[in-house]
Amino acid sequence: MSLSPASLQALADDTAFCDALLARSQHLREQLDARMEQVLVDQLDGLAAAFKPSQVEVEVDEATRARLFEIVARQWAHVGEQMPHFSVLSHEDWRPEQLTAERLADFYETGRGELVLLRRLLSQVGLGLPCKARCVELGCGVGRVTVHLAPQFGEVEGLDVSPGNLAECERALAARDIRNVRLTRLQAPPDIQQLAPYDLLFSRMVLQHNPPPIQHYLLRELLARLRPGGIVVFQLVTGGPSYGYLAAQHLQKHATTDFEIHALPMPAALALLRASGCALLDVFRDTAGGFNVSSYTFLAQKL
């Protein structure tokens, strides 16, 4: 028996019946999973086809870059003060008024999945975690992933722009007696140039909140400081419906408290990896940027 699109929609509209039926039928579950996967692939393919990388400005002068970075810093200082955990994962349970001790523990447990992902990506290309190495986490936020990375490395440096989020991260580390993490607040683009050489970069659901010229600059400077043989794992939104970007227009219309999602085109990301002497080991589409954009996670190694 095959399900028609109308039948699939009926199942989706009655979630209780759907759950009960799928629990009894592995065949139906497989059909539904396959259908949902195809819907996602079709949607992402359509987004990619409509996206024109040439309409995205990725390099600007130093003064413009500083102004763009200031916008990002103000936005994340605001949300880090008002709703730090919700700013990291936008789920109602993580709003300040809902965040009980039990939910806070659940929140930090979600970060373990990122460590699992990192291990799996490395294992698929015959690599493991460099346990005594120095790890840099771009966009450490409140430490959701940091607390899981720290036991795996000799040293972790967490970078973020939000004072409120960094304060929460410090509390999370202290509560777990984690002492091998250094937290650094980025207050201006050149701050990234003070970063010491490192062995592994991890960053997901972070770069997408920065305008393309800031993403481009941060990635370029981070890759320049990666040691030979070092690994980078980072996620980018690379396109979206009719997405375009001009810095001058952004500077005219931005709002301090907005959550913004921006794209760095795939050709620009690949060019940065090549220019830095990194070999691309793997890249896969994900949903870290949401379902209405094209998002990818990259795995690369410096030669």
Q: Please give the model's pTM, rounded to 2 decimal places.
A: 0.84
Same domain, 70 and 174: yes
Which DSSP category does 146 fall into? H
Q: 237-288 pLDDT, tens per residue?
A: 999 888 999 999 999 887 655 678 999 999 999 999 999 999 999 999 999 9
Residue 47 pLDDT more than 50? no
Quote the CA–CA distance of 58 and 245 in Å, as a whole number: 8
Same domain, 58 and 69: yes
Same domain, 139 and 167: yes
**With helix as H, strand as E and coil as C, how does 202-237 read?**
EECCCHHHCCHHHHHHHHHHHHHCEEEEEEEEEEEE
Which residues is 157 bridged to in the sheet?
A: 136, 182
Same domain, 37 and 131: no
119 versus 40: which is more confidently predicted? 119
Give mean pLDDT, residues 201-217.
Answer: 97
Same domain, 46 and 149: no
Which residues form the domain of 20?
5-50
Specify whether the CB–CB gap between 84 and 278 falls below 8 A.
no
Same domain, 32 and 88: no
Crossing angle of helices 26-50 and 5-13, rounded to 10°: 100
Quote the CA–CA distance of 198 and 174 in Å, as a whole number: 24
14 versus 151: which is more confidently predicted? 151
* Beta-strand relationship, 278-286 and 294-302: antiparallel
Same domain, 18 and 105: no
The total domain count for the chain is 2
CATH number reported for the structural domain that contains residue 263 in this entry: 3.40.50.150
Quote the CA–CA distance of 235 and 213 in Å, as a whole number: 16
Same domain, 9 and 110: no
Beta strands in the chain (DSSP E): 134-138, 155-160, 181-185, 198-203, 226-239, 278-286, 294-302
Same domain, 34 and 179: no
Same domain, 157 and 201: yes
Same domain, 44 and 57: no
pLDDT at 260: 87
Same domain, 90 and 174: yes
Quote the CA–CA distance of 10 and 15 in Å, as a whole number: 9
What Rg, from alpha-carbon coordinates, does the chain have?
A: 20
